[in-house]
Amino acid sequence: MSAFRWYNSYVDFDKEVYRQEKLEKQSFAGVNIQEITFDECEFNSCTLNESQFDRCRFINCKFTGCDLSNLAPSKCEFREVSFSGCKAIGIDWTKAVIVKDLEFSECMLNYSNFKMLKLQKIKLVKCEVKEAAFIGTNLSNSDLRKSDFEKSMFFKTNLTGANFSGAKNYFIDINNNTLKKTRFSLPEALSLLNNLDIIIE
């Protein structure tokens, strides 16, 4: 049965699928939500930090101005989900079973884990993405413009066709990542030379 847990008590949803619902300024902090499908739903100014989503599905949903920090997406699906102005710090996205076609705009994604995920065409625009892990991640054809990647780790990452225009504070070892037609802008692009045994005068 579909249910969410508010601390130590369970409250049953009256249905397992919610379509085109709008949730405004709701607090679900610390809640455990199980086996619910949200289809074309909107979450506006909601608090979901420290929440546990277990086997839930989010299809074509929108999160605006929400706090999702340390949310645990256990065995969840995220398809065509957009986040705008959200705080989504410390999320381990590898716990989800499907993460596809995500869009983040002006979000805080510090300490996020995207290790080994296939995130082709993901959008991380004007975001703060500090100390995030992109180890073995496929970011081909992704839109990473104007984001801050301070201390984020790129290793064995596929950056083919990715767009870093206006992005800053990234450190990308060109010998340990795949860069083909990857777009960078000056002066930040000079950081790509850091691991080369060369002298620039």
List residues bridging with 34 in a β-sheet: 3, 54
Sheet with 37-39: list strands edge to edge: 17-19, 37-39, 57-59, 77-79, 98-100
Handedness of CA 150, 153, 156, 161 (dihedral sign): negative
51-100 pLDDT, tens digit per residue, is: 999 999 999 999 999 999 999 999 999 999 999 999 999 999 999 999 99
Are the CB atoms for 159 and 141 separated by under 8 Å? no
pLDDT (mean) for 167-179: 94
Are the CB atoms for 86 and 107 separated by under 8 Å? yes
pLDDT at 105 over 70: yes
List residues bridging with 57 in a β-sheet: 37, 77
The beta strand positions in 20-102, using DSSP E, are 22-24, 31-34, 37-39, 42-44, 52-54, 57-59, 62-64, 72-74, 77-79, 82-84, 98-100
Q: To which residue do tokens 């930040």 refer? A: 188
Tell the burial category of 146 from Cβ atoms under 10 Å away from its Cβ (0-12, 13-18, 19+).
Answer: middle
Residue 78 to residue 149: CA distance in whole angstroms: 23
DSSP secondary-structure letter at 169?
S
Radius of gyration of the chain (CA): 18
For residue 190, name the pLDDT band (cuts at 50, 70, 90): confident
Structure tokens that stand for 136 in this block: 């073995």
18-63 pLDDT, tens digit per residue, is: 999 999 998 888 888 899 999 999 999 999 999 999 999 999 999 9
